[in-house]
Structure 1
Amino acid sequence: MVEVEAQVVGGPVHLAGDTVQVCVTVTAPALDPASTAQSSDVCEVLAWGSAQIHCQCSVNESRVLLPPSSPKQTEERAVTNADTSFAPCRGERGRVVLSTKPKILFCDLHLLPGESRSFVYKEMLPCDAPPTYRGQLLKYVYKITIGTQRLGAPTKLLRIPFRVIVLQGLSEACVYSESGELAPTNPFLHTPQRDTPRYTAFQIIQNASMRKNLNQYNITNTRGKVVRFCIYKTNFRLGEDIVATLDFSEAQVKCVQYSVTLQSEEIITENCRQRANQKPMLVPYSKSHEVCLNLSHTHLLLPIPLHVTPTFTTDLVSVQWHLHFEFVTSVGDVKGPSEPNTRDDQVEWRAPSCVDIETMVWDLPINILPTMPSQVAQAVCMPTLHVLPL
């Protein structure tokens, strides 16, 4: 049995603008020693082999209204029904929102028993491609499809899922004005090629995520100040920790406890909503919770998972990120422990068994940027080697 083996070079995660490479190896079965046939008599013939990248978009039809299909897509579906044609999206769920031109890997390939032939498929991902995303209302899924046909047999397809991360939300002015800030100036250091989309994207990500700008927020309710919240930046990369401090020393209202949740907000474009009053879909991820009664200061450490999708916007959906705060404050006065007379004195304090409380919420928008694809690959655990028996 002939085997087609495909190995994704560089891992299963790629940045938009990268060149995806797949090494395709076709191997013919070895000749059975008990067989009396000559190797030239059992030559395997493959008529052709092609490869293509496509992105499928599937939606929750009760919440999302897709625009009508283009005439070109309808024509492609009608043409690619035969078993002998290369139809990468045949049987796939959803609508094709991106597809590269199919490339021919080989034609009329003859293999002797035990012989292997290797071919390399290369394709550059568009910089404006949508990212891989599995939301509640909408999904974007990428696959590399390798199709081949043995002589006299129907076409067989090998579909290789992979992940695409996209950098969006930064203006072009940032590219030209700041792309050289963090570039190496040592002549003995290796300087990467600077005209590639990957280099430009990583420079923007590095500049944005490393820039610190202290933001302080005085959080109050109707009865006075609850806490001062300090955060040193609002642009974070995947896998980073969100670090911040909370200052209760000047609070006028006692805060009993607080929680902070990293949330994504999935907003469907207005003209694609099934209902006019449709609300965004919120999905929680990391969460931090602390009882802070009688604390003067504390800090927040909230990790950003590597497997989530960074901030992005397409013609169908916008995914934004924010920190969702919930503060539980006391309505009445809660007395804390009394001051000890000397340093050696011990003071015992028991929390009240019943406290009148009220809850207030607050959302702080943040921006999540991509990181190195190799780091994301460690979290998603996708295979890079795939085999198709013919």
Structure 2
Amino acid sequence: MIEITAKLIRGPVYFSGEIVECLVTFSNPPNPNHQISQSHSDSFENLAWASAQVHCQCSTNGKVVLTEKLNSTARLAAINANTTFVPWQQDSGHVILNTKSKILFCDLRLLPGESKTYIYRESIPNDAPPSYRGQAVKYSYKITIGTQRVNSAIKLLRVPFRVLSLSELPEVTICNDSVDLSPNNPFMESQHRETPLDISLQTLQNLTARRTPNFYNITNNRGRVVRFCLFKNSYKLGEDIVGTFDFSNATVSCAQVSVALQSEEHVCEEYRRGKNSNVTLISYNKHHEMCLGLKYSQLILPIPLHVTPDFKTDLVALNWRLHFEFVTTPKLVEMPNENTATWHGPSSLDVETMIWDLPLHIYPTTTPPNTAQQTKYSIII
């Protein structure tokens, strides 16, 4: 009996272009005290080989996506698909990304109580799609460790992990002339050169830290309802969306406001089943407030860490928006002033609902939440 344990060194979340590292340990548990081997060779456990590779599986909902067309489309075919143990053979869907298989060892022999550990490293392509679990499409990443005894079936250990794509960031041109033309001092340590990943993360930080308040005068056919201010339009996972409502100059009374963070899943028309299919909307955190009589109010809406930021592939695109619902009254409700001793609210109100959507951008966080998920997996063969 051999126990195989795999552990992600730096947690379960990685950026595209980053190197994923996994410790793979093969252990031969000690024999029970009452068991006595018949010969010296009986005490060994043998494995013929072990290898590992990364692949991304794309699963689709046949009610929304033309799955049969995907099967015949070379665009979604995996690169380097001919490998020894075909790690995706038990999964449904299509392989859209597949790295070359790396051999960990050949002919491993372990005594009782002995173990051997190997490090598997693989770079995630820069253009890799992000991990995503939608209504129509799902992208999932796994490291698969395959091993085999002589004349036995291949055994697979799967290690899932999450990928955050940086390919949606705007391109930034970096000039390194100042570094190349600087005096060469042999007694000084060489300066650290920024990697493409460092540049992407710096671009992400600059993009989401920039505050550019935008004001929106929201009106209906009767007049102004509210003036809304959103302090910025680009956010990271885990941030709070902060905005303010100004009802002081409204000509239409607003009794209630609701704001929901929504994702929009768009399936490419080429692969969409039914040309009139609507966009799939999913609501997350929601802000709800009774605002009759208020002059000012604020919006604080946290962005969950588990959602997928904006991205687009040949098959699907994901966008984000704020969905507003304003419950207004046809007539302006008179509110009490400082000279009014008592005030009784209206017993009934004629109301109507107004809907407004505001697009925004959500990007990956610069500090992925690597501590909240499992990173260790094992199998016994």
Deviation track 1:122-148 (CA, whole Å, cap 9, x = no partner) reads 000011101110001111111110000
Supply the distance in 1 between the matched residues of 2:112 and 2:88 (Cα, whole angstroms): 32
Instruction: Identify the residue that residue 384 of structure 1 maps to in structure 2.
Output: 375
- Tell me: CA distance 1:144–1:330, structure 2 relative to 1, closer, same or farther (3 Å): same
Give structure 1 stretches of 5+ with no counterpart.
181-189, 342-346
Instruction: Identify the residue that residue 94 of structure 1 maps to in structure 2.
Output: 93
Instruction: Identify the residue that residue 344 of structure 1 maps to in structure 2.
Output: none
Supply the distance in 1 between the matched residues of 2:66 and 2:191 (Cα, whole angstroms): 44
Give structure 2 stretches of 5+ with no counterpart.
179-188
Which of the residues 344, 351, 354 maps onto 1:357? Answer: 351
Query: What is the correspondence of 1:210-229 to structure 2 with a 5 Å cutoff?
Result: 210-229=209-228
Deviation at 1:57, TM superposition (A): 0.6
- Equivalent pairs, count: 365
TM-score using structure 1 length:
0.88
Contact 1:39 1:112 in 2 (8 A): no
Supply the distance in 2 between the matched residues of 1:282 and 1:255 (Cα, whole angstroms): 26
Which of the residues 74, 79, 85 maps onto 1:70? Answer: 74
Q: What secondary structure sits across from 1:299 in the alignment?
A: strand
- Tell me: CA distance 1:237–1:196, structure 2 relative to 1, closer, same or farther (3 Å): same
Identical-pair percentage: 48
TM-score using structure 2 length:
0.90
- Tell me: CA distance 1:222–1:192, structure 2 relative to 1, closer, same or farther (3 Å): farther
- Tell me: CA distance 1:191–1:100, structure 2 relative to 1, closer, same or farther (3 Å): same
Are residues 1:367 and 2:361 paired? yes
Query: What is the correspondence of 1:279-318 to structure 2 with a 5 Å cutoff?
Result: 279-318=278-317
Deviation track 1:254-277 (CA, whole Å, cap 9, x = no partner) reads 111111100000001121111112
Contact 1:214 1:233 in 2 (8 A): yes
Could you tell me which amino acid in structure 2 is paired with residue 357 of structure 1? V
Instruction: Identify the residue that residue 181 of structure 2 maps to in structure 1.
Output: none
Deviation track 1:151-189 (CA, whole Å, cap 9, x = no partner) reads 2321100011111111243321x3538xx9xxxxxxxxx
Q: What secondary structure sits across from 1:323 in the alignment?
A: strand
Contact 2:76 2:96 in 1 (8 A): no
Query: What is the correspondence of 1:321-360 to structure 2 with a 5 Å cutoff?
Result: 321-340=320-339, 347-360=341-354
Deviation at 1:331, TM superposition (A): 0.7
Contact 2:77 2:96 in 1 (8 A): no
Could you tell me which amino acid in structure 1 is paired with residue 48 of structure 2? A
Supply the distance in 1 between the matched residues of 2:139 and 2:59 (Cα, whole angstroms): 7
Supply the distance in 1 between the matched residues of 2:24 and 2:191 (Cα, whole angstroms): 28
Contact 1:13 1:373 in 2 (8 A): no
- Tell me: CA distance 1:42–1:71, structure 2 relative to 1, closer, same or farther (3 Å): farther
Instruction: Identify the residue that residue 127 of structure 2 maps to in structure 1.
Output: 128
Could you tell me which amino acid in structure 1 is paired with residue 21 of structure 2? Q
Query: What is the correspondence of 1:130-279 to structure 2 with a 5 Å cutoff?
Result: 130-172=129-171, 174-176=172-174, 194-279=193-278
Contact 1:256 1:330 in 2 (8 A): yes
Q: What secondary structure sits across from 1:176 in the alignment?
A: coil
Bigger mean CA offset, 347-356 vs 272-281: 347-356
Are residues 1:59 and 2:55 paired? no
- Tell me: CA distance 1:243–1:327, structure 2 relative to 1, closer, same or farther (3 Å): same
Deviation track 1:315-363 (CA, whole Å, cap 9, x = no partner) reads 101100000011111012322113327xxxxx33222121111111111
Instruction: Identify the residue that residue 44 of structure 1 maps to in structure 2.
Output: 45
- Tell me: CA distance 1:260–1:15, structure 2 relative to 1, closer, same or farther (3 Å): same
Contact 2:97 2:128 in 1 (8 A): yes
